[in-house]
A and B are shown apart, each in its own frame.
Chain A
Amino acid sequence: MSINRRQFLRLAGVSTVLGVGGASVLSALTGKGEAVSQTTPHFTTDPRAITGKRWGFAIDVRKLKTDEDYQKCISACHDIHNVPDFGNPKDAVKWIWKDTYEHTFPTVTEDEIMNKELKEKPFILFCNHCAQPACVRVCPTKATYKRKDGIVMQDMHRCIGCRFCMAACPFGARSFNYRDPRGKDANGRPFIRKENKEFPTRMIGVVEKCTLCYERLAVGLLPACAEASNGAIVFGDLEDPNSEVRKVIDANYTIRRKPELGTQPSLYYVIGGRE
């Protein structure tokens, strides 16, 4: 009889509840008498973990005054996530970045006459963690998938590097490791300037992107960009009407990127309303 670990755990769990005891199940399965149920590996959620039904952001770039304010958000993310800097735009890997209003909302910029201040205002962009993500639909290996809390995840160990997701994402949120991110440039400078040992580095030939600081949420920390944004990036559960993010959306005029494509982005940009 063959049994995998998951089946075993389920069986052990059920029998424990029934009072039979996991050990007896184990002995029945293996034919050995020793009780080892105490050492059975198990998974528990950190009590500090932040949980939600659908994570989202309200981004008010009016609160980002200087270039330094933007850079703080970008570095906060890129530094802890070991995002490599290959030193050229062709091979660029970026999880969060800054771009103009025109580039952020290309389908609404056909306006001939528009507010000059808004037109020239830089925006901050990262993965939209769409409710109907095109990238997840096209991935041939489920390397990118949607979690129950709305995070569009990327399994860099399963990714085959076909880049279908990059063709499919309407928001340019995905990057491919055209070179080895663990390597060095011609001058011996490592592509990852200072490695954060707490977070994995990636290998050559896989796609990566913002994973909504899943590792921080799991221990009760806010996403790094939100934390560094001075209140410009508000994070929370879009399905909770009392959440901070919903309050910002309720009180302001917000827009999303390319809503006409039906991907249902979870990033709301504040354009007008109370400051």
Chain B
Amino acid sequence: MLEKALIGSKRYWLWIGALLVVIGIAFIQYLHQFSYGLGITGLSRDVSWGLYIGQFTFLVGVAASAVMLVIPYYLHDFKKFGKIVILGEFLAVSAVTMCVLFIFVDMGQPMRIMNVVLHPTPNSIMFWDFIVLTGYLVLNIVIGWTTLGADRKGVHPPQWVKPLIYLSVPWAVSIHTVTAFLYAGIPGRHFWLTAIMAARFLASAFAGGPALLIILSLLVRKLTKFDPGAEPIQALGKIVTYAMFANVFFLGLEFFTAFYSNIPGHMAPIEYLYTGFEGHGKLVSIMWTSSILAVLSLTLLVFPALRRNENILAVACVSMFVSLWIDKGFGLIVGGFVPNMFEGITEYWPTVPETIITIGVWAIGFLVLTVLYKVAVAVREEGGYHD
């Protein structure tokens, strides 16, 4: 089926070419980082994780969100998702690919990555994250490719793929839970040491991922002859709304516990992020941008009349995606490191090379996504889908 990605319009090849150029520029920057060291980033002794690990965390959520299509379609027989469930699965493949790459570019000794396998360490959450992410990648490639292949031939998918689909449901939950455990089990980082972390991760994932999927579905309809359909998009819109309300509620719980208990260590990182702390406030403006976008998106989504207008839905989804990206892809990580272990302040802001490398990894993700969607859309355009 992959050959379908090799036939495309001029616009398709221009897009592919543009992505390759971005990837090329970022790769040169990465070579620089490889020889000079992570010193070219904004990371420091005090803030030792930043943009890269933030992207990783955020994208695990995007990957997990495929389950929001799989559950209704396969477990509740919600037929309307039949046409777009493949878009969710392929989005997961692209997102996990980016996760792996973000871990890779963040490592000080990337050539030793196999040490995680050679010296398996079950007490390390990172070991489990490695296992669940690899497993999830394989599951989604196998499921997506097999079901699409069957569609193409106009037959039902083989029976053996069913158990894998069911397995992918708890597996999706596991990837984001384990990723939350990376943070939520660390003593001494007040901002992360919270039992609601995994739940909040899942809520924000089930909001942000499907929001991206709505945007992608609208794009697919605009750019190709394949129409994912208005109804599945509206159904996704409802999922996004509920999940985002849950996420904002969970965030509110964090605020309550920190400020009503009045424990300085719990309040400090939140103060740093939203009001500035002891004269330092590099993140205040973007954290408020995130909050305003969250409120805007919820306002647009909560009224069905507004949500039904696809232009408004698109605006709401873009706002929400950006809001969650700032909150989880950036603020969450930095907030864990500021104040530092001595209650001192070292601020962090990504450097230009670090930003270019980050954009490059996203470009690789988009390249994978484009190729996979091209195949899926080509099969759909041939009328390969039979209900």
Contact = CB atoms under 8 A, between A and B. Distances in A.
Interface stretch (B33-41, B236-244, B270-278): B33-41
A161 B119 contact: no
Nearest to A261: B187
Interface in B24-62: 36-39, 41, 43-46, 48-49
Interface in A165-181: 166-172, 175-180
Contact of A172 (B43, B118, B182, B341): B341
A172 B340 contact: yes
B48 A160 contact: no
Interface string B177-190: 00000100111110
B39 A206 contact: no
Given A106-B342, A158-B112, A163-B48, A134 B107 contact: no
Contacts of B185: 138
B135 interface: no
B129 to A, nearest CB: 9
Interface of A: 86, 89-94, 99, 102-104, 106-107, 109-110, 134, 137-143, 158-164, 166-172, 175-180, 203-207, 258, 261-263
16 contacts: A89-B45, A90-B39, A103-B343, A104-B342, A106-B341, A134-B188, A139-B121, A140-B121, A141-B115, A141-B116, A158-B115, A160-B108, A168-B186, A169-B188, A178-B37, A204-B37
A242 B115 CA distance: 42
B106 interface: yes
In terms of DSSP, what is the predominant structure of the interface of chain A?
A: loop
B109 A179 contact: no
A140 B106 contact: no
B119 A205 contact: no
A90 to B, nearest CB: 4
Given A142-B121, A159-B109, A262-B187, 11 more contacts: A86-B39, A94-B45, A106-B265, A106-B343, A110-B264, A159-B112, A167-B189, A171-B341, A172-B45, A203-B109, A205-B108
B44 A91 contact: yes
Interface of B: 36-39, 41, 43-46, 48-49, 103, 106-110, 112-113, 115-116, 118-119, 121, 123-127, 130, 182, 185-189, 264-265, 336-337, 340-344, 346
A137 B109 CA distance: 20
B122 to A, nearest CB: 10
Contacts of A104: 342
B108 A142 contact: no
A160 B124 contact: no
A99 to B, nearest CB: 6
Given A138-B186, A167-B186, A170-B188, A160 B45 contact: no
Nearest to B116: A140
B37 A141 contact: no
A205 B121 contact: no
B343 to A, nearest CB: 4
Given A103-B342, A103-B343, A178 B187 contact: no
Contact of B116 (A92, A93, A109, A160): A160
Nearest to A171: B341
B20 to A, nearest CB: 28
Contacts of A103: 342-344
Contacts of B44: 89-91, 178
B66 to A, nearest CB: 26
Contacts of A207: 108
A164 B341 CA distance: 14
Contacts of B119: 141-142, 158
Contact of B130 (A137, A140, A262): A140
A170 B37 contact: no
